[in-house]
């Protein structure tokens, strides 16, 4: 597997890691207050307590939100190259597919931190707070079982793809299976941790009713 990595690969990985670190140090702290503000939060409400795990998720989101803008940028670049210069690229379609997958998987964790996953709250809003706590715990249990099952069922396949460094099999040939399959496991594990975190943070919050406009 070692010989599959060229010097250029190492430089890319090193450069991106360094970039992410610098981003975490200088930019993320400035974005976290905005990212932490949920839709449920009214003015004057101090919002949810931000724990270490929340902070990790928000730091991740502080990079991820710009990936959307980055995809817009490269796709526009591709269209211009194709129609103005007649030179389509090989990499834009696949890179956007790859990054899109990263957004899909990780955005769910941010949505979980924001408590914005679509729920039906007809019954939930009617019952008392202690009953709501039981519902929350049950809900968390379901999510944990789902995450566990995905991880258990897919670990072997994902690990094989990672160690054999399976490529996409196209002209540009990015390692989409080698990266994305393990990322599914990472996302599920992270989601499970975030779920437990939410359960603990929300346990002592007073009863609140939901407004369907929250899903906007």
Partner 1 sequence: MGIAEVSLLLLVGIVVLLAVGVPLGLASGFLGVCVAYWKFGERGFFILGQRMYDITIEHALLAVPLFIFMAMLLERSNIANDMYSALNVWLSKTRGGIAIVTAIMAIIMAAMSGIIGGEVVLLGLIALPQMLRLGYDQNLAIGTICASGSLGTMIPPSIVLIIYGVVTETSIHALFKAAIIPGLMLGGFYIIYIMVRTRLNPALAPLPQHEREVEFMDKIRALKGLLPPVMLVTAILGSIYGGITGITEAAAIGCVGTLLLIWARGEFSVQLFLESLQRTLRSTGTIIWVTFGATTLAGAYSVAGGPTFVANSILGLELPAMGVILMMMAIFLFMGALMDWVGIVLLAMPVFLPIVAKMAPAEMGLLGGIDPRHIPVWFGILFCVNMQVSFLSPPFGPAAFYLKSVAPPHIQLTDIFKGFLPFICIQLLVLAIMLMFPEITSVFLPD
Residues between 86 and 125 that touch partner 1 (CB under 8 A): 93, 96-98, 100-101, 103-112, 114, 116-124
67 near 53, Cβ under 8 Å? no
Please select the residue that binds partner 1; options are 20, 50, 56, 150, rule is CB under 8 A: 150
207 counts as binding partner 1 under rule CB under 8 A? no
81 counts as binding partner 1 under rule CB under 8 A? no
Kindly identify the residues of this chain, within the stretch 12-41, that bind partner 1 according to CB under 8 A.
Answer: 31, 34-35, 39
Please select the residue that binds partner 1; options are 24, 154, 167, 175, rule is CB under 8 A: 154
Give the integer Cα–Cα distance in Å for 194 and 57: 8
76 near 89, Cβ under 8 Å? no
Nearer to partner 1, 104 or 203 (CB): 104
Q: At what angle do helices 129-163 and 176-203 cross, to 10 degrees?
A: 160
Nearer to partner 1, 51 or 75 (CB): 75
Please select the residue that binds partner 1; options are 184, 186, 193, 201, rule is CB under 8 A: 184
What are the φ/ψ torsions at residue 121 (nearest 5 degrees)? -110, 20
Q: How far is the CB of 183 from partner 1 (least distance, A)?
A: 8
Q: How far is the CB of 128 from partner 1 (least distance, A)?
A: 13
Count of residues interacting with partner 1 (CB under 8 A): 71
Q: Which two tokens stand for residue 147?
A: 């995450």
Say how far residue 162 (Cα) sits from the centre of its chain: 20
Residues in Cβ contact with 171 at an 8 Å cutoff, skipping those fewer than 6 apart: 90
């Amino acid at each position: 597997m070692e010989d599959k990595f060229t010097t250029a690969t190492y430089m890319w990985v090193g450069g991106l890691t360094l970039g992410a670190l610098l981003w975490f140090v200088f930019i993320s702290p400035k974005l976290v207050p905005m990212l932490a503000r949920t839709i449920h939060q009214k003015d004057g409400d101090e919002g949810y307590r931000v724990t270490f795990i929340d902070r990790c998720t928000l730091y991740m989101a502080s990079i991820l939100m710009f990936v959307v803008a980055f995809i817009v940028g490269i796709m526009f670049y591709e269209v211009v190259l194709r129609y103005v210069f007649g030179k389509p690229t090989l990499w834009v379609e696949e890179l956007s597919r790859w990054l899109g997958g990263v957004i899909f998987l990780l955005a769910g964790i941010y949505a979980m931190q924001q408590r914005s996953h679509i729920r039906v709250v007809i019954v939930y809003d009617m019952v008392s707070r202690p009953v709501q706590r039981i519902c929350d715990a049950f809900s968390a249990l379901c999510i944990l079982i789902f995450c566990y099952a995905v991880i258990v069922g897919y670990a072997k396949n994902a690990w094989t793809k990672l160690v054999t460094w399976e490529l996409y099999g196209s002209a540009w040939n990015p390692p989409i299976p080698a990266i994305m399959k393990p990322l599914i496991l990472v996302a599920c594990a992270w989601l499970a941790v975030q779920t437990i975190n939410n359960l603990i943070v929300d346990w002592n919050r007073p009863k609140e009713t939901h407004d369907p406009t929250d899903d906007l």
